[in-house]
Amino acid sequence: MLYVPVPSLWPVWNNWTASATPGVSVTPGTSGAEGTYTEIVDGALVTEDVYFMRIWQSAGFVSTAAKPQLMDIGVDEAAGTSYTTIVNNISCGNCGAASFTSERFGRFYDLPIFIKAGSSIAIRVQGQHATGTATRFAIKLIGGTHQPHFIRAAAFTETIGTIASSQGTAFTPGTSSAEGTWTLVGTTVAQLWGFLPSVDISDAGMTALGYIVDIAYGDASNKVLLSENNPVYTASTEYVTHPAMQLGYADVPAGTNIYVRGTCSGTPDTGWSCTVVGFGGIGHS
Amino acid sequence: MLFVSGSSLVPIFNNFTNGTTIGVSVTPGTSNAEGTYTELVDGALVTEDIYYVKLWKSAGFVSTAAKPQLLDIGVDEAAGTSYTTILNNLSCGDCGAISMGAGRFGGKMFDLPLFIKAGSSIAVRTQGSHATGTASRIAISCYGAPDRPHNVIAASFTETIGTIASSQGTAFTPGNSLAEGTWTLVGTTVADLWGFVMSVDSSDAAKGDVGYTFDLAYGDASNKVLLVENFLLFATATEDTSHMAPEIGYANVPGATNIYVRGTCSGTTDTGWTCTVVGFGGLGHP
């Protein structure tokens, strides 16, 4: 029988609202320390297995301050508050605040990850700055499929990038729409099939500029694009916004180099860094 | 990208940029006439089969004017300019413009799980209700070349659900002050479908600075199954709207199924809201 079934997926839970203060407030750790986990959803509300998560982050910036941050996601499959970290170090700092008037949302992140029904989900943030400015997280959980064996949702993740001062691997975007140089973010440890780029900036004097970011795998001479032309915006009041960066889907063996490059609409601000979350395995009940 | 891929997918082409004028300028038809197709990408640049398209439409609003629009996508598999429409009537008017200073990656984004053959030119056209056509910018990002195409769901056809009038879809009224509005029947599917993208528009020339979330479901008058929940849109008092977190609802839905929409507003809802839903069916492969 030639039969290609199509999986259904439906909304399991979300706390997205028509509000400029979405979701839950999370206060980052300071001076490079991890924050504490803040529950976003209690396991009692996660009534079905989750195969995809979308995060909407809003606020956390301070004018004339640099506030790079890294986000971890934790779950407690027993619906408690003893969280096991399942995603590490998504770059997420200086987030713009949602505003109806300015049609500004903040930052979005897409994660093809499996989370078992009944799990509580929490987020913690580490910040570089000595003063922790709260940011807000709302999440959407999609899952409950009829055909889980046809869905790629990660059983594990690894984060590629060298972490220092609450940032990932440094890179320099090109000026005036010239492509920047490919910069090695890091090397994969496990076999992976999905990649989420994330970027941040440590600059207390940002400019109103646009950027686009690419990631690729390969070697010094040859690269295969994973995700291309992801827009990121900075404002002169020191915040960053972007739509969800495109997930890169490629079967990449362990020991593969992952690269980033960017380009700026003008002269780029300083202190850009990148982490890439890699997704591996197939998580199912 | 809310997209379930069982295979590798490679960036094929995109014209997203770091500027405020992304992609290509597209001028809508006026007074509900269809515009003419404008090429987004020439077939010579579509070097591999496409299994997924992201559209980003920016600008096109005018303060104190209502500019609802409907967007069609056409392809010419011979890399020419004789376009066959493969997707009809995506609601897309009053798009906000990009502003770096305001941190606004403005406009409307759409994720479309579509199959388009390598070598095809891709174009869009828009029809507008207003007597003056205000140009938008439309950029496209195409992914494809899977190593396991049989594991990727990309539509071989689409159908649009909704009653079209005055360059808008089916009318509905969001609830006020975060109260859910009433479920409203958008229309009924014709073919068996597996994917759904909702699109909304407002013909209000005096919008408020408010936020909305919208839900999409299938079912009947008594029982509904959510396809998409809390799809986010912001509107402003200068009559522009933006939604930048596109979603696809995945469900195997037979022909003759009712599709419903509802919405809620952070304050007092603007008037003139309408909805069209693009349904995706079949599996497009070479």
Reported confidence tier of residue A3, pLDDT bands at 50, 70, 90? very low
Do B102 and B58 belong together in one domain?
Answer: yes
Total domain count, chain B:
2
Same fold, A10-15+24-150 and A160-280: yes
Do B193 and B218 belong together in one domain?
Answer: yes
Do B117 and B100 belong together in one domain?
Answer: yes
B203 at A interface, C-beta within 8 A: no
Do B93 and B186 belong together in one domain?
Answer: no
Enter the CATH code of domain A10-15+24-150: 2.60.120.680
Do B58 and B145 belong together in one domain?
Answer: yes
Residues of B in contact with A98 (CB under 8 A): 211, 234
Contact B19 A265 (CB under 8 A): yes
At residue B71, φ and ψ (nearest 5 deg) are: -115, 135
pLDDT digits (tens, 9 = 90+) for A86-122: 999 999 999 999 999 998 999 999 999 999 999 999 9
Contact A18 B210 (CB under 8 A): yes
* A4: pLDDT strictly greater than 50: no
Distance CA B213, CA B232 (A): 5
For residue A158, CA distances in Å to A113, A166, A195, A221, A261 come to: 12, 17, 10, 25, 20
Residues of A in contact with B3 (CB under 8 A): 247
Quick one: which of B275, B281, B227 has its CA closest to B254?
Answer: B281
Using a pLDDT cut of 70, give the percent of chain A over it: 98
| B1: in domain | no
Do B93 and B210 belong together in one domain?
Answer: no
Reported confidence tier of residue B4, pLDDT bands at 50, 70, 90? low
Last residue of a domain, one of B151, B174, B195: B151
Distance CA A29, CA A31 (A): 7
Distance CA B148, CA B7 (A): 5
Q: Which of B4, B21, B57 to mutate to test the interface with A (most CBs of A within 10 A)?
A: B4
pLDDT value of residue B102: 83
Residue A227 has a CB neighbour count (10 Å cut-off) of: 25
Taking the domains of chain A in order of start, what are their residue ranges? 10-15+24-150, 160-280
Q: Judge whether A31 and A128 are in contact, CB under 8 Å.
A: yes
B211 at A interface, C-beta within 8 A: yes
Distance CA A7, CA B148 (A): 16
HEC profile for B159-220?
A: EEECCCECCECEECCCECCCCCCCCEEEEECCCCEEEEEEEEEECCCCCCCEEEEEEEEEEC
**Domain extent at residue B31:** 10-151
Quick one: which of B140, B128, B136 has its CA closest to B59?
Answer: B136
Q: Which of B105, B213, B226, B264 to mutate to test the interface with A (most CBs of A within 10 A)?
A: B105
Q: What is the number of CB-based contacts under 8 A between chain A and chain B? A: 202
Contact A250 B10 (CB under 8 A): yes
User: B200 CB contacts (<8 Å, ≥6 apart)?
Assistant: B91, B169, B212, B214, B233, B261, B263, B273, B274, B275
pLDDT digits (tens, 9 = 90+) for B81-118: 999 999 999 999 999 999 888 888 889 999 999 999 99
Distance CA A251, CA A248 (A): 10
Closest to A18 (Cβ–Cβ): which among B2, B237, B265? B265
A151 at B interface, C-beta within 8 A: yes
Q: Judge whether B96 and B236 are in contact, CB under 8 Å.
A: yes
pLDDT value of residue A6: 66
Last residue of a domain, one of B151, B170, B187: B151
Do B140 and B170 belong together in one domain?
Answer: no
pTM reported for the whole predicted model: 0.96
A284 at B interface, C-beta within 8 A: no
Give the closest-approach CA distance of A175 to chain B in angstroms: 11
pLDDT value of residue A1: 44
| B216: in domain | yes
Q: Which of residues 166-195 of B touch A (CB under 8 A)?
A: 178, 194-195
Do B139 and B209 belong together in one domain?
Answer: no
For residue A125, CA distances in Å to A129, A155, B11, B39 come to: 12, 22, 31, 44
pLDDT value of residue B101: 82
| B41: in domain | yes
Do B233 and B136 belong together in one domain?
Answer: no
Distance CA A119, CA B24 (A): 45
Token code pair at residue B121? 């030119």
Contact B1 A108 (CB under 8 A): no
Do B129 and B175 belong together in one domain?
Answer: no
| B61: in domain | yes
At residue B151, φ and ψ (nearest 5 deg) are: -100, 5
Do B103 and B134 belong together in one domain?
Answer: yes
| B2: in domain | no
∠ Cα B207 B212 B217 (to 5°):
130
* B6: pLDDT strictly greater than 90: no
Burial string for A234-256 (b: 16+ CB within 10 Å, else e) reads: bbebbbbbbbbbbbbbbebeeeb
∠ Cα A277 A278 A283 (to 5°):
115
pLDDT digits (tens, 9 = 90+) for B207-245: 999 999 999 999 999 999 999 999 999 999 999 999 999
**Length of chain B (residues):** 286
Last residue of a domain, one of B136, B151, B166: B151
Arch. (CATH architecture) of A160-280 = Sandwich (2.60)
The CATH number given to whatever domain includes residue B165 is: 2.60.120
A57 at B interface, C-beta within 8 A: no
Do B141 and B161 belong together in one domain?
Answer: no
